[in-house]
Amino acid sequence: MSDCVFCSIVSGQIPTTFLYEDEEIVAFRDINPRAPVHILIIPKKHIPSLAQTSEEDLALLGRMCLVVRQLAEKEGIRLGIFRPITLWPFPYEALGKIGERGKPILTVEMSLGQLVEDIRLSVLGKAPVHLLGHCGGVIPSEEEVFAEAKKILGK
Ligand SMILES: [Zn+2]
């Protein structure tokens, strides 16, 4: 799309230094950072919004999550990502094993705490569980997740 700033960045019309690039994804620093670390990770394919993704984008979206973690590690933030495949039955056992490590868990959800209570039940107080949630269909951004992770980790 010619009027899309992200497509202009991907095509090189807007010169940008990429922190990461593969055949489907690029990552770069925001020119107006709103957090100490503000990196944008975007698909090369024009996708207007998360609401306009489909089943065929699942692998791409999953790979973008991995790039988030890799870039966070490069910035000195060690993150793990747990994405449940199903919520019924709820993965209490798998999450319980993660809780055994005692490391902080950040629950990111598009609600004000529907999932976080089940995460707390899974870890049974063995790890602190934090919530980053929005309602009204607002998707938590990667800069919010970075900022919250840094706050929790005291960085
Ligand atoms: Zn675009």
Tens of pLDDT along the chain (155 residues) come to: 668 999 999 999 999 999 999 999 999 998 888 777 788 999 999 998 878 888 899 899 889 988 988 888 888 878 888 888 888 899 999 999 999 999 999 999 888 888 999 999 999 999 999 999 988 878 888 778 888 888 998 87
Q: Do residues 90 and 154 both lie within one domain? A: yes
Domain boundary among 78, 107, 135: 78
What is the whole-number distance in angstroms between the Cα of residue 41 and the centre of ligand 1?
13
Give dist(CA 97, CA 86) in Å, integer.
Answer: 17
Compute, in angstroms, the gap from residue 153 CA to the centroid of ligand 1.
34
**Distance from Cα 109 to the centre of ligand 1, integer Å:** 25
Residues 91 and 103 in one domain: yes
Same domain, residue pair 118 and 70:
no
Token pair 């602190």 is found at: 128
Number of folded domains in the chain?
A: 2
Is the same domain home to 105 and 151?
yes
Residues 71 and 16 grouped into a single domain: yes
- Find the 42 Cα to ligand 1 centroid distance in Å: 9
Global pTM reads 0.60
CA–centroid distance, 13 to ligand 1, in Å, is 12
Please state, as a whole number, how many other Cβ atoms lie within 10 Å of the Cβ of residue 82.
Answer: 11
Distance 46 CA to ligand 1 centre (A): 4
Ligand 1 center–CA 135 separation, angstroms: 26
Residue environment code for 38-74, b if the CB has 16+ CB neighbours within 10 A, otherwise e: bbbbbbbeebeeeeeeeeeeeeeeeebeebbeebbee
Question: How far is Cα 20 from Cα 145, in angstroms, rounded to an integer?
Answer: 19
Q: What is the pLDDT of residue 1?
A: 60
Of 78, 97, 113, the domain-final residue:
78
* pLDDT for the residue 13: 94
Question: Which two structure tokens, joined as six digits, stand for 80?
Answer: 């793990």
Q: In terms of domains, do 2 and 74 share one?
A: yes
Q: How far apart are CA 7 and CA 154, in angstroms?
A: 36
Question: Counting runs of H as helices and runs of E as strands, what totals does the chain give?
Answer: 5, 5
Residue 20: which CATH number? 3.30.428.10
45, 78, 111 — which closes off a domain?
A: 78
Cα 128 to ligand 1 centre (Å): 38
- Interatomic CA distance for residues 9 and 14, integer angstroms: 5
Contact 119, 105 (CB under 8 A): yes
Say whether both 95 and 122 belong to one domain: yes
Does residue 35 share a domain with residue 88?
Answer: no
- Output the pLDDT for position 107: 92
Q: Which domain holds residue 62?
A: 1-78
